[in-house]
Amino acid sequence: MSGIREICFDTETTGFHAKGDDRITELGCVELIDMLPTGRQYHAYLNPQRDVPEKVTQITGLTTEFLKQNGKLFEQVASEFLEFVGDSKLIAHNANFDKSFINAELEKSGFPTFSDDRFIDTLQMAREQFPGSPASLDALCKRYNISLSSRDKHGAIVDSELLAEVYLQLKGGRMRNLDLGSGQSPDITSITKNETKERPSPLLCNLTGDQVKSHKKYIESLGEKMVWNKYWR
């Protein structure tokens, strides 16, 4: 498939400390070509091999028991995850957080980690474009009128899908993509000029008689083809 390939991805975790005992519980990826979703996705629930705090379950809906029964170990999905992302750029919101967790899991499983230049951080993009304004994913969805109806709780896939829409808007919106991949220029609607209408009656002249004579003499000195002669009475 031609075009620029990028991956929007998100992780859900047991906490905030990637270098401690916190682990990834869910991993979601959405493929983009020229900044538009293709429909290809990667998703996995992961068994963190530890309890999920209740306050995290309230946010994600993922329980310790559910992940024990339905989650795989990261080393079991690492190869297919790496195959899916390939060498594409990885787009994440607050990328440092997701990068720290994904690299910690890769390192624990004996795989090479991602370099910093693989990541595009939409949080940083938003802060640069809207300094001083809220820049959370929810706040950006609200700014761009992106519906959150598909999300009951935070989930890696649904958040990746929302991130894909936010990323497109941060890069200039759908108008920027009208001709991507087609090699054709976008169809731009022509602008109709407003016709100039004459006044019902001319404006009154506020010049004195001497000023009129002086101006008329100056206009005549410019020659008959000057545009002023068309309007001078």
Structural domains in the chain plus CATH codes: 5-177 (3.30.420.10)
N residues, the chain: 233
What would the pLDDT profile of 123-133 be if each residue is shown by its tens digit?
Answer: 999 999 999 99
CB 87 within 8 A of CB 63: no
What would the pLDDT profile of 158-213 be if each residue is shown by its tens digit?
Answer: 999 999 999 999 999 865 554 444 444 334 333 333 444 454 555 555 566 766 67
Annotated catalytic residue, options 17, 93, 154, 215:
154
What would the pLDDT profile of 46-90 be if each residue is shown by its tens digit?
Answer: 999 999 999 999 999 999 999 999 999 999 999 999 999 999 999
Classified as helix, coil or strand, 164 is: helix
Q: Rounded to the nearest 5 degrees, what angle is found at the Cα of 172, between the Cα atoms of 170 and 173?
A: 90
CB 163 within 8 A of CB 135: no
Can you tell me the distance from the alpha carbon of 105 to that of 199, in angstroms, rounded to the nearest whole number?
A: 76
Can you tell me the distance from the alpha carbon of 55 to that of 111, in angstroms, rounded to the nearest whole number?
A: 31
The DSSP call for residue 168 is: H
**Is 215 part of the annotated catalytic residue set?**
no
